Amino acid sequence: MTSENDPERLSALVVDAAFHIHEELGPGFLESVYTSVLTRALIRRGLMVEQEKIVAFKFDGMQFNDGLRIDLLVNDVLVVELKSVEVLAAVHFKQLLTYLRLMHLPLGLLINFGAATFKEGCRRVVNNHHPTESSLLRINKGPT
């Protein structure tokens, strides 16, 4: 996998950009403001970013062409869901995992700009993903 499509590398770049945005703007704006600012920051870093990416899917013989919209899709491999709420709910994690499963992608980021600190508001969600030893964002690293 090339570095341009390595979800670990991309997630590190997104987290870095989002951290600086949270630090400069702080909580309190609408999600759409953070979406626009983060998109611009990522494009400036040379990444391809799709906003409001529509995901079509089938269920029980029915076709849904606009049932899901991903906040950001980075380089076609990293899903980024943005929130601007006081506290993330369990459904936010489940929503992102659903997107990852439908798109057969390994890793996504859930970023809540409404949290008091960036650390509280940034979470990785994985779907059959095995982080590499060089993961820059390894969290809760267990014994090797």
Q: What is the pTM assigned to this prediction?
A: 0.86
| Over residues 32-38, mean pLDDT | 98
CB 56 within 8 A of CB 66: yes
Q: Does pLDDT of 44 surpass 50?
A: yes
- Tens-place pLDDT, residues 84-138: 999 999 999 999 999 999 999 999 999 999 999 999 999 999 998 666 544 555 4
- Tens-place pLDDT, residues 8-25: 999 999 999 999 999 999
CA-to-CA dists, residue 39 to 60, 64, 86, 87, 94, angstroms: 35, 27, 22, 23, 23
pLDDT of 103 reads: 92
